Amino acid sequence: MIRNKEDLLNFLNEDKRALGKSCKKMPRLFGDDVWKFEIVLRKHEYYSNITPTIRTKIMKKIYGYLHRKLGIKLGFSIPINVFGPGLRINHYGLIVVNDDARIGANCDIHQGVNIGQNRYKGDVPTIGDNVWIGPGAKIFGKITIANSIAIGANSVVNKSFFEENITIVGNPIRKVKNTGTN
């Protein structure tokens, strides 16, 4: 969670590195829409989490509007304070994430992913660091996904995996390899 300016700069730098934009200073005027979305997301998080003043309340509204506008344009429904630093969104396209889900650092996510709740409020996933989520994966329920796991395309994940550095795929979900994202 971004709590101060130093955290904001760290998150922005990690996101830029994850997107492969480390040699660039700023997004291009035309293009780099995913990078622009991530910048707006992080600034919305920052202004939502710091001590409110008149200026920060105005900035929160501005970045909240831009976050929603870019999210609709790109097909992302990604709330604030869910992803850790180093978020990599690979493509435009539908990505839906529940507000209560918690996802660690260096998440690599593709289009068509849904990370949601099961039947009751709070039945949402907790996902560790360095997780790769393939296109079309559905992850739901009160489950835990350990660090360094690769989740295959179109997988339906509804049970926990505590073993690190593995690959899981399918419907029903199962472990297929002892190598994950490390």
Q: Please check whether residue 180 is in contact with residue 164, taking contact to mean a CB–CB distance below 8 angstroms.
A: yes
Whether residue 181 is predicted with pLDDT greater than 90 in this model: the reply is no
Q: What is the pLDDT of residues 116-153, one digit of tens each?
A: 998 888 899 999 999 999 999 999 999 999 999 999 99
The first and second tokens of residue 173, run together, are 């979900």
Residue type, 27: P
Q: In what order do the strands lie in the sheet with 156-157?
A: 76-77, 95-97, 113-116, 138-140, 156-157
Mean pLDDT of the chain: 94
Q: Is 90-177 a domain of CATH 2.160.10.10?
A: yes
- CA 75 vs CA 45, 68, 107, 138: distances in Å: 19, 10, 18, 16
For residue 8, the number of C-alpha atoms closer than 13 Å in the C-beta half-sphere is: 15
pLDDT at position 42:
97
3-class secondary-structure state, position 49: helix
3-class secondary-structure state, position 48: helix
- Please report where in the chains the tokens 């190598």 appear, as a residue: 179
Is the whole-model pTM more than 0.85?
Answer: yes
pLDDT confidence band for 26 (50 / 70 / 90): confident
Contacts of 121 (CB under 8 A, 6+ apart): 100
Q: What is the pLDDT of residues 39-95, one digit of tens each?
A: 999 999 999 999 999 999 999 999 999 999 999 999 999 999 999 999 999 999 999
- CA 81 vs CA 44, 45, 75, 158, 178: distances in Å: 9, 6, 19, 23, 31
pLDDT at position 161:
96
Percent of the chain with pLDDT over 70: 100
Distance CA 84, CA 4 (A): 15
Q: What is the pLDDT of residues 92-113, one digit of tens each?
A: 999 999 999 999 999 999 999 9
3-class secondary-structure state, position 50: coil
Percent of the chain with pLDDT over 90: 86
Domain limits, the chain: 5-75, 90-177
pLDDT at position 62:
97
Q: Please check whether residue 39 is in contact with residue 24, taking contact to mean a CB–CB distance below 8 angstroms.
A: no
Contacts of 66 (CB under 8 A, 6+ apart): 40, 44
